[in-house]
Amino acid sequence: MKTIDDLQVAGLRVLVRVDLNVPLDGGRVADDGRIRASLPTLTALTNRGARVIVCSHLGRPGGKPDSRYSLAPVAARLGQLLGKPVEFTAETVGPSVRAAVEALRPGSVIMLENLRFTAAETSKDDAQRGLFADQLAGLADVYVADGFGAMHRKHASVYDVALRLPHAAGYLVAAEVAALTRLTANIRRPYVVVLGGAKVADKFEAIGSLIDAADWILVGGAMAFPFLVAQGHKVGTSLLEPDQIELARRYLDQAAHAGTPIVLPSDFIVAARPAADTPREIVTADKIPADRMGLDIGPESATSFAIRILQASTVFWNGPMGVFELAPFASGTRTVAKALTGSEAFTFIGGGDTGAAIRALGFAESAFGHVSTGGGASLEFVQGKILPGLAVLEDQ
Ligand code: ADP
Ligand code: MG
């Protein structure tokens, strides 16, 4: 895989696909981790006199313009972090964008409006995506892939544009791949996988191959509930997707055969609803009241997870242990994060919210082996799946 070090960029128009899909809070960037992660590549390109065109998606606007998903606040924050103005185009492609790009001076940066304001970006139809990719490619001389968080998607700006322009990986993608390779080749054991979060449907499929790869699987967050129900427990009003229960049962069987323990929480912090001011209590996993929801793993579970993590040589963590955004339900996530920082293991954190959680809880990213910008992308990589955005870089 070529990197930007192998590219001539001086004076050239360089289209850089980044993943600046960051959480916004009332028009303000709530967590700028992904913007910071894009800086090494963007700074190198501007220092080398490239005319840099930055593009990204934000959220799921559904293929049409929607001001709630405008990248304008992200462009402003990027400008602050880069220490130079980032011009913003109100459209993603078209004549006005072409004119703005033509006027772009070497060493300057322009950012395009949300790629997903155009339905073709995510279309399943190759021809439709291709037409949009033609327009994007027409803006530039060279393409740089640095949006790791979107590389598992066969989208126009991720996949099709790379077929149309000379291309290379940015530093973020190179670093992500180097870190992920430590989870797929010559894994140092014991290898502990910690899973949590709320996007259970998106992640559940990964568990099968993780059972084969890992020595221990620790499950917290809403991910734990289908397993608990499969074991015959009641989980009250906890977040639960019923169609996962049968699969959870099969994973428990598979894990028993493989000799890979799936460790579930033995206690929970429960409350009537996810709010900081609601009364809460600690209950054992078999005593979740019918009108309460599990919002964090309990202290006993957190300690037992931490002990496993401290004994590991490799740790992969995806998904917070509880609703960390609310202080009363952040302890489980904090304890797990602390164990990772205290462990001798190579620690890998994937998942947008997991990365945001450790930053929000005050941990330095440098205290971990690698904090990935990609949740879905890193999960697919560790399963051994081919990421379209990476494959297209490696092919030529
Ligand atoms: P990531 O982005 O790291 O992959 P997810 O998107 O799957 O993680 O999930 C993150 C969300 O999971 C957080 O907003 C957190 O509040 C929520 N969460 C964690 N535990 C629970 C729980 N027990 N019940 C409901 N939501 C939870
Ligand atoms: Mg998430």
Atom of ligand 1 nearest to the CA of 350: 3
**Distance, CA of 83 to chain centre:** 26
CA dist., res. 133 & res. 126, Å (int): 10
- CB contact at 8 A, 116 and 57: yes
Candidate from 283, 323, 325, 348 with most ligand 1 atoms within 8 A of CB, to mutate: 323
Nearest ligand to the CA of 376 is 1
Backbone φ, ψ for residue 187 (5° rounding)? -65, 130
pTM, two decimal places: 0.92
pLDDT at position 396: 55
> Which whole-number Å values give the CA distances from 127 to 229, 246, 324, in the listed order?
45, 39, 43
Is the shortest distance between the CB of 322 and ligand 1 below 6 Å?
yes
Is the shortest distance between the CB of 222 and ligand 1 below 6 Å?
yes
The catalytic residues are 34, 199, 352, 376
Atom of ligand 1 nearest to the CA of 203: 7
pLDDT at position 395: 64
CA dist., res. 298 & res. 322, Å (int): 10
pLDDT at position 342: 96
Nearest ligand to the CA of 379 is 1
* Residue located nearest, by CA, to atom 14 of ligand 1: 323
pLDDT at position 26: 86
Which residues have CB under 8 Å from 316's CB, separation 6+?
A: 183, 191, 192, 193, 194, 210, 214, 348, 350, 382
CA 262–ligand 1 middle distance (angstroms): 19
Residue 368: CB atoms within 10 Å:
21
Closest-CA residue to 10 (of 50, 61, 59): 50
Is the shortest distance between the CB of 295 and ligand 1 below 6 Å?
yes
CA 89–ligand 1 middle distance (angstroms): 33
One-letter identity of residue 143:
Y
Q: What is the pLDDT along the chain (396 residues), one digit of tens a residue?
A: 899 999 999 999 999 999 999 999 988 999 999 999 999 999 999 999 999 999 999 999 999 999 999 999 999 999 999 999 999 999 999 999 999 999 999 999 999 999 999 999 999 999 999 999 999 999 999 999 999 999 999 999 999 999 999 999 999 999 999 999 999 999 999 999 999 999 998 899 999 999 999 999 999 999 999 999 999 999 999 999 999 999 999 999 999 999 999 999 999 999 999 999 999 999 999 999 999 999 999 999 999 999 999 999 999 999 999 999 999 999 999 999 999 999 999 999 998 899 999 999 999 999 999 999 999 999 999 999 999 999 999 865
pLDDT at position 196: 97
Nearest ligand to the CA of 354 is 1
pLDDT at position 394: 87
CA 128–ligand 2 middle distance (angstroms): 28
